[in-house]
Amino acid sequence: MSASRTPNALLGVALLVSACTSPEAQEAGPLPFSRIHLETQESGTDVLLQAVSAVNDTVAWASGHGGTWARTLDGGETWTARVMPGADTLQFRDVFALDSERAWLLSAGSGELSRIYRTGNGGATWELQFLNPEPDGFYDCLEFRDADRGIVYGDAVDGELRILRTRDGGDTWEYTRSLDIPPALAG
C-alpha cells in the first residue's frame, strides 16, 4: 500500500469501527467480565500450584509441585492439600475434575516423569493409569469431555506431536497417530 493511501485506510477502519458500535453500547459502560473480583485464598500448602479445575461454585481441585494436589468443597473458604504418597518428586502440571470425588492428575517431565493418576474417592487413593515409556516424551496438559473420553497433549518426539486419548476413563490410553496433524515445527 502506498504512503498516500495509508491515512485513508486508517480513517476507513476508524469509521467502520465507530459505525459498528451503537451509542447504547457505548453508554452501557464496561462489559460484565470487568466486574470480576479476585480474592486471595489460603491453599494449605507452600508449593507452587500450577493448575485449577473448577467443577462448580463450591468444588475445585488444584495441582502443583512436590506431588501436591489440593481440593476445596466450599468455594475456596478452605482447601485441603495433600502430597500423593510416592510421588513427592513429581510436578503435577494439570488436573481435571468431574466432581468432588473423581479427578485426574498429570505430572510433567521427561520419560517416566510424565504420568497420569486417577482418583474416584476424593483423593483418598490414587491409581497410576499411564507411565510415559518414551525417554524424550513430555506431556503437558489433559482435558476430559466426560467421565470416559479424555485427551492428553505432549511435546513432539522426533517431529511427531504426542497426543493420547482414552475412551474408558483412563483405563487405557492410546496414541492418536491417525489424526491428520501436521509435523511439529522446530523451536
pLDDT tens across the length of the chain (187 residues): 445 444 555 544 454 445 444 555 455 555 666 777 788 888 899 999 999 999 999 999 999 999 999 999 999 999 999 999 999 999 999 999 999 999 999 999 999 999 999 999 999 999 999 999 999 999 999 999 999 999 999 998 888 888 999 999 999 999 887 566 676 677 6
3-class DSSP assignment, residue 185: coil
Residue 157, domain CATH: 2.120.10.10
Q: Is residue 36 a part of any domain in this protein?
A: no
Q: Is residue 14 a part of any domain in this protein?
A: no
Q: Is residue 148 a part of any domain in this protein?
A: yes
Domain count, the chain: 1
Check if the beta carbon of residue 88 is closer than 8 Å to that of residue 66: yes
Q: Is residue 26 a part of any domain in this protein?
A: no
